[in-house]
């Protein structure tokens, strides 16, 4: 096996990984690896924008309050307060790196989304993610201390046990090079996991195909503490029909006045919530889900009649163009929409500096669970969280590299997969593609927007079999498809495990058998790690 090394290894080239790389390079040499092409990330598809207090009629207290209300009691107050406080400075970092946000008259133009009591969404039209990703990639490519490799797929994390203290440290990652099919043992003093979310676990998702939860699964196998994976956010408005990756119709469209309607034209959210179509995402997604089940319709309609043609053209050029490609003129016609899996509020538990429970391993962005989102993420707080935590983590590079240098380690051979393999059913002939499809259907049907004890139980039972089959195909042939399948099954199992541990309904987790909040028993995170899940 080939070996390689750098001071710092960053896994993932979305907003979290690239921001961290740019900051960490002030302290050390940084190598970024990404499993596909460099811009392939959820970041690249972000539409609405990044939430930060940037106007005089807004305040830090209001942003904190809105975040806490959305989070349904589970946000960590100090994490939210510091996130919001540091937000404006991190938006300015992005501008300094070359991101061109939409402005008018010298001021940033601020959009509005559900749950925000003020206009505070900094955006670049409705192509905010593409603008951010492009600028960060450019800045990284010009930086003398950062190198970036595409088509390098992290398979598992490497760990060392210190000879003297027995402490286990993360010391790198095992990477698969797609071009040659060979494995590389990549050693580093600090590893930043920035691998994004697991949206592809669901049949319908706004996430691109890279979103297979690899980092969550790798961290779990390495023994890290995880939390809150049951809180899967379903975005209410994905364009119908939703193909492999559903095209998102940004919440900012409802922020500008668009209204959700039944197919017969009635206002869908009237009488359901005081904020109508701009009610919290979980409420809107459940209302659409119920409407589709009761009516038998395939979609509901998003009516943009209240937004002027010129505002649509100026503010939503990406959505206008994509819908036009599909034969819908959104200036004159309503958009057919359905909910789709969008974001996971849970992930690898970190402290305020992005440190996980494994020394040497940091996590930032959607892979992480920092405590800021609680049971439901406020719109556009995800990009914000990624830049704030990446910035903070970089301040610990020197300290972490000193610790790594002082560790005289013995490599721990990772045998998780081999052990699991010995228990799997032999001779299953299904291929990775059909298993992935089966998994996505299973999660959509049994662990989706509305859950029940019976459905979650059925999902858990089938996942045991899928796990064995996924490991079998992974061991027969290690490639992108089988690595991702193994991880998707791992993360799906964790989502279902967490959902079965929470005997209440809160935020994004709704179980018809426990339809109420139970603050006495469940006003806490759902914590899992290998051995207790």
- Under the criterion CB under 6 A, does residue 382 sit at the interface with ligand SIN? yes
> Binder to ligand SIN among 127, 252, 340, 496 (CB under 6 A)?
252
Stretch that binds ligand FAD, among 190-198, 328-336, 455-463, 467-475 (CB under 6 A): 190-198
Partner whose binding site includes residue 251, from ligand FAD, ligand SIN, none (CB under 5 to 8 Å by kind): ligand SIN
The catalytic position among 38, 281, 331, 506 is 281
- Under the criterion CB under 6 A, does residue 446 sit at the interface with ligand FAD? no
Rounded to a whole number of angstroms, the distance between the first and last alpha carbons of the chain is 33
Helix extents (H) in 328-431 = 381-394, 397-405, 416-422
**65 in catalytic set:** no
Q: How far is the CB of 383 from ligand FAD (least distance, A)?
A: 4
Q: Of 470, 451, 463, 460, give the one whose Cα is nearest residue 509.
A: 451
Partner whose binding site includes residue 374, from ligand SIN, ligand FAD, none (CB under 5 to 8 Å by kind): none
Partner whose binding site includes residue 390, from ligand SIN, ligand FAD, none (CB under 5 to 8 Å by kind): none
Burial class (CB in 10 A: 0-12, 13-18, 19+), 21: buried
Answer whether 126's CB lies under 8 Å from 316's CB: yes
Residues 137-166 that bind ligand FAD (CB under 6 A): 153-154
Q: Within 13 Å and on the Cβ side, how many CA atoms surround 48?
A: 29
Residues 45-104 that bind ligand SIN (CB under 6 A): 47-48
User: What are the DSSP calls for 452-498, one per residue?
Assistant: -HHHHHHHHHHHHHHHHHHHHHHHH--SHHHHHHHHHHHHHHHHHHH
Q: Residue 75 to residues 67, 371, 527: CA-CA distances in angstroms?
A: 8, 5, 14
- Under the criterion CB under 6 A, does residue 172 sit at the interface with ligand FAD? no
- Under the criterion CB under 6 A, does residue 340 sit at the interface with ligand FAD? no
Q: How far is the CB of 373 from ligand FAD (least distance, A)?
A: 10
> Binder to ligand SIN among 22, 75, 139, 379 (CB under 6 A)?
379
Residues 29-88 that bind ligand FAD (CB under 6 A): 33-36, 40-43, 45-50
Beta carbons within 10 angstroms of residue 360's beta carbon? 26
Residues with Cβ within 8 Å of residue 20, at least 6 apart in sequence = 10, 192, 194, 362, 364, 390, 393, 394
Tell me whether residue 286 or residue 455 sits nearer to ligand SIN (CB atom). 286
- Under the criterion CB under 6 A, does residue 383 sit at the interface with ligand FAD? yes
Helix (H, G, I), strand (E, B) or coil at 9: strand
Q: How far is the CB of 197 from ligand FAD (least distance, A)?
A: 6
Which of the residues are catalytic?
281
Q: Where on the chain is the footprint of ligand SIN (CB under 6 A)?
A: 47-48, 250-252, 379-380, 382
């Amino acid at each position: 096996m080939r070996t390689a090394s750098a001071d710092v290894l960053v896994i993932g080239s979305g907003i979290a990984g690239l921001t961290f790389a740019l900051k960490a390079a002030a302290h050390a040499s940084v190598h970024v690896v990404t499993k596909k092409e460099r811009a392939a990330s959820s970041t690249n598809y972000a539409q609405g924008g990044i939430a930060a207090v940037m106007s005089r009629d807004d305040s830090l207290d209001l942003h904190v309050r809105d975040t806490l209300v959305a989070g349904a009691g589970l946000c960590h107050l100090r994490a939210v307060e510091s996130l919001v406080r540091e937000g404006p400075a991190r938006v300015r970092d992005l501008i300094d790196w070359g991101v061109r946000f939409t402005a008018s008259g010298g001021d940033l133009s601020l959009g509005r989304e559900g749950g925000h009591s003020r206009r505070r969404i900094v955006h670049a039209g409705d192509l905010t993610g593409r603008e951010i990703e492009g600028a960060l990639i450019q800045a990284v490519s010009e930086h003398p201390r950062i190198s970036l490799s595409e088509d390098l797929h992290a398979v598992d994390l490497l760990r060392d046990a210190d000879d003297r203290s027995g402490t286990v440290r993360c010391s790198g990652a095992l990477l698969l090079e797609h071009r040659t099919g060979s494995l590389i043992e990549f050693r580093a003093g600090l590893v930043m996991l920035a691998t994004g979310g697991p949206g592809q676990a669901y049949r319908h998702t706004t996430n691109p195909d890279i979103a297979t939860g690899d980092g969550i699964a790798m961290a779990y196998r390495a023994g890290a503490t995880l939390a809150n994976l049951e809180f899967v956010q379903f975005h209410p408005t994905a364009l119908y029909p939703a193909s492999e990756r559903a095209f998102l119709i940004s919440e900012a469209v409802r922020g500008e006045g668009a209204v959700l309607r039944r197919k017969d034209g009635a206002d869908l959210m009237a009488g359901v919530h005081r904020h109508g179509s701009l009610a919290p995402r979980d409420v809107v997604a459940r209302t659409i889900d119920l409407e589709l089940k009761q009516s038998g319709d395939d979609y509901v309609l998003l009516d943009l009649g209240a937004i002027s043609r010129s505002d649509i053209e100026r503010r939503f050029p990406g959505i206008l163009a994509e819908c036009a490609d599909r034969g819908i003129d959104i200036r004159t016609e309503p958009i057919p929409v359905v909910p789709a899996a969008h974001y996971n509020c849970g992930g690898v538990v970190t402290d305020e500096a992005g440190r996980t429970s494994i020394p040497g391993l940091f996590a930032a962005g959607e892979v992480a669970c920092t405590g800021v989102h609680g049971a439901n993420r406020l719109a556009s707080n995800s990009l914000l969280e990624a830049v704030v935590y990446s910035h903070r983590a970089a301040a610990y590079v020197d300290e972490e590299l000193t610790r790594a240098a002082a560790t005289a380690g013995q490599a721990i051979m990772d045998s998780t997969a081999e052990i699991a393999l010995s228990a799997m059913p032999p001779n299953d002939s299904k291929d990775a593609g059909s298993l992935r499809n089966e998994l996505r259907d299973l999660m959509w049907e049994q662990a989706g927007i509305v859950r029940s004890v019976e459905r979650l139980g059925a999902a858990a039972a089938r996942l045991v079999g899928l796990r064995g089959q996924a490991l079998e195909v992974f061991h027969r042939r290690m490639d992108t498809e089988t690595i991702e399948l193994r991880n998707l099954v791992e993360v799906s199992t964790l989502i279902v495990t967490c959902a079965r541990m929470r005997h209440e309904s809160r935020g994004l987790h709704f179980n018809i058998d426990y339809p109420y909040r139970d603050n006495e028993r469940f006003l806490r995170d759902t914590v899992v790690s290998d051995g207790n899940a």
